[in-house]
Structures are given as structure tokens and as C-alpha cells.
């Protein structure tokens, strides 16, 4: 990552932190994760901050129980806690589902692996190993040489008699050209959607666009655009 990108994202993060609570930030991460076809970067500091707040509130609620605070107040705090817990669990579960779906694709790429938390990396690794072992034992060991790879249809031929490529990669990959719904927080200005500059769209703050994910990937990563 180049330094200006660092500055940029640091500034964006600082602005976001000033404007919203951790729960709002987590909610944004949850929505982006839900709407994006691929796995996004795990925000460890944010998740640990939310965890701390959850723990703190749990302790406070225990104290409330002993000191006889009004039931109404206790139940309101309990709702706040439950909502936060739901959000955090849903976010973590969502990421696990994505990792499970694209585990082989993710373990191939250093960049994708680096987006996972340490626990998620362990999960992806053991999941991949188990899947490979299972495929090996149940199917692949019984296939002839050249057809016994987990990642490829066949090693030798590139086309069959009909001219259909045999060399298909059979690892599920996220579809990055899916259309996604997104909203910009501030004016991005004329934004180029493709490499050659034929598709340009003027992104105005608070307007809702439906665009291909791969063309706005960079904006999602830098936090300039939110998926919904």
C-alpha cells in the first residue's frame, strides 16, 4: 500500500470515528460485508472495541441486578446489549459463511488471506485441509492419474474432443462483476468505471447507484462509498 493511500484511509477513519459510534461503524462493516460478493478486510481494532463495550455492559448489568436498579432501566440496557450482540454475531457468522464458501480461493491468495483475522485464518486453513482430505479419500484417490487434482479438472489436456476447455478451474470464486447497490457519503465526482475511460459516472453525495462491484471495489475499501 502506498503512503498516500495510508494517509487517505487514516483520514477517512478519523473522520468516521469522530462522526459515529463503534456500533454504527460495525453496522457499516456488517452491511458492506453482506452486500459485497467477496470477503472484505477484518477490522480487528473495531471488533475488539465493540467486544470491550459488550463486556463492560454485561458487568454493569450484573451490578444492576445486585443493587436493585429499576427493572425498566435494566431491560432497556439489556435490549441495547442484545442488539449489539446480534450485530457482532451476525457479522462474524457472515464472514465464516463466506470463508467456508470461498475457502480454496482465499487460501490461494496472500492478499485475501491477509484480510482475515487470525482466528479466521486458522478456520480457513483447517476447513480447506478437511475438505481436501475428504475429497481425496472419497473421490480423487479413485480417479486415474491426471484427473486427481482438487483444483483442476485435468492436468494434461487443455481441450476435449468438442473443443471445450478441460482445464477448468473448479474452485468456487466470488462473482466480482455482480451489480451492487451503493451510496456515496460525499461527492466523489466523475468516476471511471472501467480501465479505458469509456464508462464514467458522476457520483453525487447521498445518491443511490447500482454498479458492478469490481468497478467500485477501491471506493468500498477506502470507505468512500457504502454498500447497501
Question: 130, 117 in Cβ contact below 8 A?
Answer: no
- Interaction between residue 77 and other proteins (CB under 8 A): yes
Position among 211, 219, 220, 225 found at the interface with other proteins (CB under 8 A):
211
Position among 66, 110, 161, 177 found at the interface with other proteins (CB under 8 A):
177
Task: Report how far apart, in Å, the C-alpha atoms of 169 and of each of 150, 153, 154, 165 are.
Answer: 9, 7, 9, 10
Alpha helices of 166-206 — where are they, by DSSP H? none
Of 106, 99, 85, 107, the closest CA to residue 26 belongs to 85
Identify which range of 84-92, 108-116, 141-149, 156-164 contacts other proteins by CB under 8 A: 84-92
- Of 5 and 202, the one with the shorter C-beta distance to other proteins is 202
- Interaction between residue 178 and other proteins (CB under 8 A): yes
Distance CA 77, CA 37 (A): 35
- Of 11 and 83, the one with the shorter C-beta distance to other proteins is 83
Compute how many residues bind other proteins; rule: CB under 8 A: 50
Backbone dihedral region of 192: left (phi > 0), alpha (psi from -120 to 50 degrees) or beta? beta
- Interaction between residue 53 and other proteins (CB under 8 A): yes
Site residues, other proteins (CB under 8 A): 21-24, 27, 31, 34-37, 50, 53-54, 57, 70, 72-73, 75-77, 79-81, 83-84, 86, 90, 94, 97-98, 100-101, 175, 177-181, 193-194, 198-199, 201, 207-212, 228
Amino acid at each position: 500500500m502506498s503512503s498516500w493511500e495510508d494517509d487517505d484511509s487514516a483520514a477517512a477513519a478519523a473522520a468516521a470515528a469522530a462522526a459515529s459510534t463503534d456500533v454504527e461503524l460495525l453496522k457499516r462493516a456488517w452491511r458492506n460485508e453482506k452486500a459485497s460478493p467477496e470477503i472484505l478486510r477484518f477490522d480487528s481494532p473495531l471488533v475488539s472495541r465493540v467486544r470491550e463495550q459488550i463486556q463492560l455492559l454485561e458487568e454493569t448489568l450484573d451490578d444492576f441486578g445486585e443493587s436493585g436498579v429499576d427493572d425498566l432501566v435494566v431491560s432497556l440496557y439489556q435490549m441495547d446489549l442484545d442488539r449489539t450482540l446480534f450485530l457482532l454475531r451476525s457479522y462474524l457468522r457472515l464472514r465464516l459463511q463466506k470463508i467456508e464458501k470461498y475457502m480454496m480461493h482465499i487460501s490461494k491468495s496472500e492478499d485475501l488471506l491477509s484480510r482475515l483475522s487470525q482466528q479466521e485464518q486458522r478456520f480457513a486453513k483447517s476447513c480447506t485441509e478437511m475438505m481436501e482430505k475428504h475429497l481425496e479419500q472419497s473421490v480423487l484417490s479413485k480417479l486415474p492419474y491426471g484427473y486427481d487434482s482438487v483444483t483442476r479438472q485435468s492436468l494434461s489436456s487443455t481441450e476435449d474432443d468438442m473443443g471445450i476447455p478441460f482445464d477448468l478451474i473448479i474452485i468456487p470464486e466470488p462473482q466480482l462483476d455482480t451489480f451492487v447497490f451503493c451510496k456515496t457519503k460525499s461527492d466523489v465526482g466523475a468516476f471511471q468505471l472501467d480501465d479505458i475511460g469509456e464508462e464514467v459516472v458522476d457520483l453525487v453525495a447521498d445518491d443511490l447507484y447500482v454498479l458492478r462491484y469490481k468497478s467500485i471495489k477501491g471506493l468500498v475499501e477506502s470507505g468512500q462509498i457504502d454498500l447497501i
